[in-house]
Amino acid sequence: MYAKILGLGAVTLLLSARYLHWLFRRWRSRVPLKEVLFFPTSVTCVEHLLLRHLLSATSSLDLCVFAFSNQELSRTVLLLRSRGVAVRILTDKNYMIMSGSQIGALRRAGTCVRHDLEAVHMHHKFAVVDGRLLITGSLNWTVTAIQSNRENILVTEEPDLVRPFIREFEQLWEANDPSRYRSSLS
């Protein structure tokens, strides 16, 4: 009888251990991506890591960036559009007309672009890929920023960090709707 009791106890413990192991593996597989990239770096092609994250987009790219003059990143945005990814760009109204800005070319290619309507700077530098992945930091989308300056970007899928940036983008996108601007002038 005691052998049976011990056997059953052992089986129960074994099952509990296997359940704990399964729970742990499930938790590990759900740990969201967290990555930090610094520019410039001795690691070759850190910008390619940035491009890889952008090119992972399958449905949407929401970009909120103060300055955008990097041609490679501009080509990446156009490539995503050609793949059917919905791209929205929010930018600063003063910097979008600076020499070398890619905003005009992106607009002419049909990309949805809005700019802030305020006297102050729209100084954000973040992107949200597929409503899932946040890319944010000090880095403007310029050649100097990527190739020369000391800069950082943080890439994360942590929902507690991604969600506030999605809300901020939606709120700024609505607030800077040109139809509102026109009606406020009338």
Would you please indicate which residues are annotated as catalytic (active-site) residues? 123, 125, 130
Q: Cα dist. 104→37, 86, 145, 152, 181 in Å?
A: 28, 18, 20, 26, 20
Indicate whether 9 belongs to the interface with a second copy (CB under 8 A): yes
Indicate whether 160 belongs to the interface with a second copy (CB under 8 A): yes
Indicate whether 69 belongs to the interface with a second copy (CB under 8 A): no
Query: How many CB atoms neighbour CB 98 within 10 A?
Result: 13
Indicate whether 43 belongs to the interface with a second copy (CB under 8 A): no
| Minimum separation from the CB atom of position 102 to a second copy (A) | 19
Indicate whether 3 belongs to the interface with a second copy (CB under 8 A): no
Indicate whether 149 belongs to the interface with a second copy (CB under 8 A): yes
| Minimum separation from the CB atom of position 116 to a second copy (A) | 7
Q: Cα dist. 170→46, 110, 114, 123, 166 in Å?
A: 29, 20, 12, 16, 6
**18, 20, 75, 83: residue in contact with a second copy (rule CB under 8 A):** 20
| Minimum separation from the CB atom of position 79 to a second copy (A) | 26
Q: Whole-angstrom Cα distance, residue 42 to residue 147?
A: 12
Cβ proximity of 131 and 155 under 8 Å: no
